[in-house]
Structure formats: C-alpha cells, structure tokens
Amino acid sequence: MAEALVIVDVQNDFCEGGALAVEGGAALAAELSEFLEDSHGEYDVIVATQDWHIEPGSHFSDSPDFQRTWPVHCVAGTRGADLHDDLDTERIQARFLKGLFDDGYSGFEGRLGDPDRTGLKEGEKEKAVAPADVIEEGAPDLNTYLQQQGVETVTIVGIATDHCVRATALDAADNDYEVRLLKNLTVGVDEDRIAETYEELREAGVELLRSDEL
C-alpha cells in the first residue's frame, strides 16, 4: 500500500514577512525539513502544493473579508509564490499548482507543474507568467497523479490548517484515500476555526495525529 506525504502551501507569502502571513509558518518550514530528513523513507510519494494565482477573480480584494476574499498573494512567478527557503525541497518529487483562475483552496484542484520552468531570475519575479510556462498540456491533477503511483494513504501537513489544509484533507477523504493529518506539522489562522476544522475532519474520517504518534 503506497503512501503519499502532501505538503500544502508552505510558501513565502504564507510565512512571516509575506503578504498573507500565518504565525509560525517559517518555523513550520524548518520543522518540515527536519521531518523529511528523518522520515522521508516512510513515504513512497512526496509532493507539494502551491497557490499560483494569475487571475483569481474575486479571490483577491482591496477590501478583503479574510473569509472569502483576500489581499493579493502568491502571484504566479513572484517570490511570494515560491516555497519557503527553510523548506528542504530535495525530496519533493512533484509540485501541484492551484488557483490560477479561481480560489484554489484544495491541493486536489492543482495540476502537476514546474515553477522553475519560468526561467525568471530573482530581480525579474514580477513579470507575468502564463499557465503554459509551468504546466504542460495534459498534466495530471493531484488525484490522477496519486492514483498513477498506486497511493492509498495520504498524510497531510502544511499551511493553513483552517483553509487550504482543511480543503485538501476533505478532498482526499472524498476521493477515498485513507487520510492522516499531522497536527504538529500544520499551522492555522484562527484557533476557533482550527477547532471546528478538526471536528469536521474527524467526521469525514480523517485521522488526526502528531508526527511522534506515527
């Protein structure tokens, strides 16, 4: 039974100093690197998801409500959309880019892509990026990719517990994977919503653990 680790949205804009920072995001990136160093051999597949917004419509707002609308963040090709420097990407086998033209909360909405294909250097990272620059025609979505790898169990970590981690875990359960969420390797925005998210995930059959309980 193949198992996948899905690292959700550990990106610069979701960490301290970013456009939509979540407290503890940078520390989480470093903790995930340690986890990967110690535990990568337990996973057959390791993937990451990234917000990769081009024209996400009403997802962006000059007057965000921080529920359905948000400040501009993770714009495709910019530094803010990059995975955080403290996240060791050596063992990440594939990246799934989501939210190009919509909200893109769930990693299962993402398609296999290569952000490095843009060829943009650090000083150029405000140039427009087209989908074809990073996603090949016919690239699989996350569910298709996991099925191709024979994955039956999905372990989820990342940012933010009460938003994209939640949506990704629920979609994993809806797609009939055995799903685990590692609570100590996620960070969220609102404590009340995190508690509600945990209850919702339990009801969906998601197992909530700490990494030392695996």
Q: Check pLDDT > 80 for residue 132.
A: no
Catalytic one among 15, 98, 103, 162?
98
Q: Check pLDDT > 70 for residue 46.
A: yes
Catalytic one among 15, 51, 82, 164?
164
Structural domain spans, the chain: 2-213
CATH number of the domain located at residue range(s) 2-213 in this protein: 3.40.50.850
* Beta strand 45-51 pairing with 2-8: parallel
Mean per-residue pLDDT of the chain:
94
More confident call, 125 vs 202: 202
User: Which two three-digit tokens encode residue 138?
Assistant: 């016919």
Answer yes or no: are the C-beta atoms of 99 and 131 closer than 8 Å.
no
Answer yes or no: are the C-beta atoms of 96 and 106 closer than 8 Å.
no
| Tens digits of residue pLDDT in 174-201 | 999 999 999 999 999 999 999 999 999 9
Give residues with Cβ within 8 angstroms of 145, minimum separation 6. Answer: 47, 94, 96, 112
**What average pLDDT score do residues 66-91 get?**
94
- How remote is the C-alpha of 214 from its chain's centroid? 21
What is the distance between the alpha carbons of residues 72 and 122, in angstroms, rounded to a whole number?
Answer: 19
Give the residue among 88, 92, 207, 107 at the shortest CA–CA distance from 160: 107
| Tens digits of residue pLDDT in 139-180 | 999 999 999 999 999 999 999 999 999 999 999 999 999 999
The question of whether 98 is a catalytic residue gets the answer yes
* Beta strand 111-113 pairing with 94-98: antiparallel
Residue 125: the pLDDT is 62
Residue 123: the pLDDT is 64
What is the distance between the alpha carbons of residues 126 and 27, in angstroms, rounded to a whole number?
Answer: 26
